[in-house]
């Protein structure tokens, strides 16, 4: 059975801190790993990773995938209160169906 | 951990037919279930929020007569795409939230709908 585990479950940091969120997975026929930020309604797409070792970057957020060790990290530098959200990791498998398996998320709270 | 299942996993239907997708929480009672549609480029759109025993709350722009949602029990919500058309082809994902752990959503594996 496909599985995605995120850690930590919850995190409280001060503005300006750097945080690293972890996502490990077990999935048959891996296709891609996705990171989302969920504040109130639908999760907002952040990154899609398909290859190991290639860092994806968007502003203060970056992410990298290790397909050998089956994990990914999401880094947020110089955190701001607006970064407070639940960060979801999901893995999509290959094939026509492209089943997606979500983790339960890491809740990040950034305090002033 | 909590498990949410969806059935069917993949459905192909002819234009004009209706399709029902089930979302079940297997080992917990879900007071709230959410239905999402995934678009190309991975974005997720929240379609509606359903609470057990009451009418679903639809997001702006989502036709409630087109996408019928029923949350008849604490473990089952259904989404019926009525008179499906090719533009309804998409990946539909549900998630469920337990009464006891309000902050955590458990996502289903998704249902891929292809309307010919």
Q: Pairing between strand A106-111 and A85-93?
A: antiparallel
Q: Which residues on A lie below 8 Å from B45 (Cβ)? A: 42
- pLDDT averaged over every residue in chain A: 92
Angle at B95 between CA A80 and CA B84, to 5 degrees: 120
pLDDT at residue B83 is higher than 90: yes
d(CA A107, CA A13): 11
Does the distance separating the beta carbons of B104 and A105 come in below 8 Å? yes
pLDDT value, residue A83: 97
Chain B CB within 8 Å of residue A98 CB:
yes
Per residue in A65-111, pLDDT (tens digit) is 999 999 999 999 999 999 999 999 999 888 766 788 899 899 999 99
Instruction: Give the number of other CB atoms < 10 A from CB of residue B29.
Output: 13
């Amino acid at each position: 059975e496909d599985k995605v585990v995120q850690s930590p479950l919850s995190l409280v940091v001060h503005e300006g801190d750097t945080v690293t969120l972890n996502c490990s997975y077990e999935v048959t026929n891996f296709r891609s790993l996705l990171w989302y930020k969920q504040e109130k309604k639908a999760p907002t797409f952040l990154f899609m990773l398909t290859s190991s070792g290639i860092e994806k970057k968007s502003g203060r957020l970056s992410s990298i995938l290790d397909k050998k060790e089956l994990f990914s990290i999401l880094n947020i530098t110089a955190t701001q209160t607006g970064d407070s959200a639940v960060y979801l990791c999901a893995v999509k498998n290959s094939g026509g169906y492209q089943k997606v398996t979500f983790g339960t998320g890491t809740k990040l709270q950034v305090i002033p | 951990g909590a498990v949410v299942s969806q059935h069917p996993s993949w459905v192909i239907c002819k234009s004009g037919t209706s399709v029902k997708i089930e979302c079940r929480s297997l080992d917990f009672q879900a007071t709230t279930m959410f239905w999402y549609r995934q678009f190309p480029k991975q974005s997720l759109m929240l379609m509606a929020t359903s609470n057990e025993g009451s009418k679903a709350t639809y997001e702006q722009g989502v036709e409630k007569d087109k996408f019928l949602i029923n949350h008849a029990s604490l473990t089952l919500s259904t989404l019926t795409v009525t008179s499906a058309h090719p533009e309804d082809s998409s990946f539909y994902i549900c998630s469920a939230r337990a009464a006891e752990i309000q902050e955590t959503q458990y996502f289903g594996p998704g249902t891929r709908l292809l309307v010919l």
